[in-house]
A and B are shown apart, each in its own frame.
Chain A
Amino acid sequence: MKSSAEVFDRIASRLSDREGEVAVSHGILVANLAPGGVLAAARLLRDELGFDVFLDVTAVDWPGQDPRFEVVWHFYSTSHKVRVRVKTRVPESNPSVPSLTPLYGSAAFMERECHEMYGIGFEGNADLRPLLLYEGFVGHPLRKDYPKEREQPLVAYRPGFELGERG
């Protein structure tokens, strides 16, 4: 088995062909790519570099910055036993990234969660129904401008039991 540094070097040389910055941070190779390059990079990771497990997708909200959202993917390779993080930035006006559902089955569920929590669109994922939240939920709760106290009860409170005009 090669050391993780050698593996990282090889992956970095392949990924940096795609006009992105690649660096190692806390034992994970981090690639900053343009939104358009994510699907091709994921395909390269899966088909040629042995990253067979798609671990996770989430987003980070940076209000006031442009582009506002950072979308973060994590991959794991069962052969090299290392992880890669792919990041991209998308603007608030069009928070859209390509879906990884053509490559990984696990993407379907995780993209649904990221979509409802941050409002990130995943082009190519036709099934973005609410998952942890419910039908008719308004807003994206993990965005920084969503107040923690806001309540959206599905069933109205009984008179006298309202918790006040919060949120």
Chain B
Amino acid sequence: MAAGPRIANPVRSAFAPGERDDTVVVSIGPSHPATHGTIQIFAELSGERVIRADVHCGYLHRGFEKECEAHTWHNCIPYMDRLNYCSPLINDFAYCDAVERLMGVEITRRAVVLRTLLSEYSRLCDHITCIAASLMELGAMTAFLYMVMIRDYMYEHIAALTGARVTHSYGRIGGLARDLPPGWLERLEEILVQYDDFVGRVHGLVDRNRIFIDRMRDVGVLSQADALSYGYTGPMLRSTGLALDLRKDTPYLAYPELDFEVPVGIKGDNYDRYYVRMREMDESVHMIRQCVEMLEPGPINVDDRRCSFPEKPLVYGEIESLINHFKLVMEGPKVPAGEIYVAHEGANGELGFYLVSTGEGTPYKVHCRAPSFVHMGGAHKMLEGYQLADLVPTFGSINMIGGECDR
């Protein structure tokens, strides 16, 4: 064996086992079958009650921010997909929006509407994944299969547009990778009709199901004051009764033109989080249908040679376009020096990008304000005081996505 560093425990718990003789400290994770997501929770138990919890993330850390500093602004886009891989399009569009605002680029009308439509479609996928997985963990296998079936229709449908099921890399600085293929909107409507049918069945199966209510109601309660103090946003904060939604409050894309409601919960427990997400999915479907109505033919990329690639026939046909293409690929789009923070309403909450440019074709710094990471900072508030078995539905309702949490 080559001499290497000592094999050590990579994490240190905030409390050591044996501090008290009436409790036991258990380590759950990082790869535990009952928690989806690679995360480690140290739980100090008194009987079956969790009295202290220490949440550790970082097992999926892959140096996202460091890696971005070595790529051109364009080449960072595939990394954005891998942040929240349940709703990759929202990440793409938030990042592209930040770069575009820094460059002073205004995208075309069709790109605005399509981005809005696809953001909501992505949110729908994300919420379906979250609810389906949490229901399955409580034993509701039928509801899980209903929802995952719909999600798979959506994944294949998005793959027909973007070429990939999960990591789409579809956003572009200044627009989108490609326009809709023929028949895409007709298939979209078919899927939405099926979604309505199956989500209705899930409502019927679980909403007033005694077992479900016993496991979810008054479990993992988060007060609104705690939610604000711990920086919660998105469905988590809305489940506590505060209607904070960036789509309404700091309008971007086509959201100011859309008619939608912001559903809120009453007491911030697991049941409220389930119900807020279910209601948000219906609002998303409503928004998608409005976007389809608003969609008009037109270009999907801005005619701006600083960021958009020239048409392929021009690249092969004239020297200016060839050089333009070469410069954009090899050096990257030159983004004016400055800094910007742009946040979109991600499926889990405020997804912010803080970008610093020095005027080069590569970013000086890309920082992602990931909602999952912030939510993990306050997760112990929802675990402490409840049974160990409640950890599973509570953790499921937070919808921690390892890709954006650990970056």
Instruction: In the complex, identify which listed stretch (A8-16, A35-43, A72-80, A91-99) lies at the interface while the others stay far away.
Output: A72-80
Contact (Cβ within 8 A) B350 A156? no
- Chain B CB within 8 A of A110 CB: yes
A54 CB, min distance to chain B CBs, angstroms: 6
Please, which residues of chain A bring their CB within 8 A of the CB of B1? 156, 158-159
The 0/1 profile, CB within 8 Å of B marked 1, for residues 95-133 of chain A is 000000000111011100100010000000001011111
Interchain CA distance A34-B66 in the complex, whole Å = 27
- Chain B CB within 8 A of A89 CB: no
Interchain CA distance A163-B230 in the complex, whole Å = 41
Contact (Cβ within 8 A) B406 A74? no
Please, which residues of chain B bring their CB within 8 A of the CB of A74? 341, 352, 354, 369
List the interface of chain A (C-beta within 8 A of B): 25-26, 28, 52-56, 58, 60, 72, 74, 76, 78, 81, 83, 85, 104-106, 108-110, 113, 117, 127, 129-136, 141-142, 146, 148, 152-159, 162
Contact (Cβ within 8 A) A129 B12? yes
Contact (Cβ within 8 A) A76 B7? no
Contact (Cβ within 8 A) A26 B377? no
Given known pairs A60-B364, A133-B58, the reply for A142 and B249 (CB within 8 Å) is no
Contact (Cβ within 8 A) B65 A142? yes
Please, which residues of chain A bring their CB within 8 A of the CB of B63? 141, 148
Please, which residues of chain B bring their CB within 8 A of the CB of A81? 249-250
Interchain CA distance A53-B371 in the complex, whole Å = 13
Which residues of B1-39 have CB atoms within 8 Å of chain A's CB atoms? 1-5, 7-12, 14
- Chain A CB within 8 A of B209 CB: no
Please, which residues of chain B bring their CB within 8 A of the CB of A135? 8-12
Interchain CA distance A130-B10 in the complex, whole Å = 9
Interchain CA distance A10-B82 in the complex, whole Å = 40
Interchain CA distance A58-B250 in the complex, whole Å = 22
Contact (Cβ within 8 A) B7 A78? no
Contact (Cβ within 8 A) A109 B376? yes
Contact (Cβ within 8 A) A55 B7? no
Can you list 27 A-B contacts with CB-CB less than 8 angstroms, sorted by A residue number? Answer: A25-B340, A26-B338, A53-B228, A55-B350, A55-B352, A56-B352, A56-B354, A56-B367, A56-B374, A60-B356, A60-B365, A74-B352, A85-B341, A105-B377, A105-B378, A106-B374, A106-B378, A109-B376, A110-B231, A129-B14, A132-B407, A134-B11, A148-B67, A148-B69, A154-B5, A154-B7, A156-B4
Please, which residues of chain A bring their CB within 8 A of the CB of B389? none
**Nearest-CB residue, chain B, relative to A83:** B341
Contact (Cβ within 8 A) A155 B367? no
How many of B's residues come within 8 Å of A, CB to CB? 56
Contact (Cβ within 8 A) B10 A154? yes
**Nearest-CB residue, chain B, relative to A108:** B377
Interchain CA distance A28-B353 in the complex, whole Å = 13
B9 CB, min distance to chain A CBs, angstroms: 7
- A-B CB proximity, top 7 nearest: A156-B4, A109-B377, A106-B231, A134-B10, A132-B58, A105-B229, A105-B230
- Chain A CB within 8 A of B143 CB: no
**Nearest-CB residue, chain B, relative to A160:** B2
Contacts beyond the supplied A105-B381, A129-B12: 16 A-B pairs with Cβ under 8 Å:
A25-B339, A26-B338, A54-B231, A55-B231, A55-B343, A60-B356, A78-B244, A104-B230, A110-B231, A110-B373, A113-B373, A130-B58, A134-B10, A136-B5, A153-B5, A156-B4
- Chain A CB within 8 A of B257 CB: no
Please, which residues of chain B bring their CB within 8 A of the CB of A56? 352, 354, 367, 369, 374
Contact (Cβ within 8 A) B341 A28? yes
Please, which residues of chain A bring their CB within 8 A of the CB of B352? 55-56, 74
Interchain CA distance A136-B356 in the complex, whole Å = 30
Interchain CA distance A110-B378 in the complex, whole Å = 11
Interchain CA distance A157-B342 in the complex, whole Å = 41
Contact (Cβ within 8 A) A153 B377? no
Please, which residues of chain A bring their CB within 8 A of the CB of B14? 127, 129
Please, which residues of chain A bring their CB within 8 A of the CB of B66? 141-142, 146, 148
Interchain CA distance A154-B242 in the complex, whole Å = 44
A59 CB, min distance to chain B CBs, angstroms: 9
Which residues of B335-373 have CB atoms within 8 Å of chain A's CB atoms? 338-343, 350, 352, 354, 356, 364-365, 367, 369, 373
- Chain A CB within 8 A of B323 CB: no
- Chain A CB within 8 A of B327 CB: no
Please, which residues of chain B bring their CB within 8 A of the CB of A162? 2
- Chain A CB within 8 A of B157 CB: no
Interchain CA distance A52-B233 in the complex, whole Å = 12
- Chain A CB within 8 A of B215 CB: no
Interchain CA distance A154-B4 in the complex, whole Å = 8
Contact (Cβ within 8 A) A132 B376? no
Given known pairs A56-B369, A76-B350, A105-B377, the reply for A153 and B231 (CB within 8 Å) is no
- Chain A CB within 8 A of B61 CB: yes
Interchain CA distance A101-B63 in the complex, whole Å = 26
Interchain CA distance A153-B341 in the complex, whole Å = 34
Max chain B C-beta neighbours (<10 A), residue from A85, A134, A152? A134
- Chain A CB within 8 A of B41 CB: no
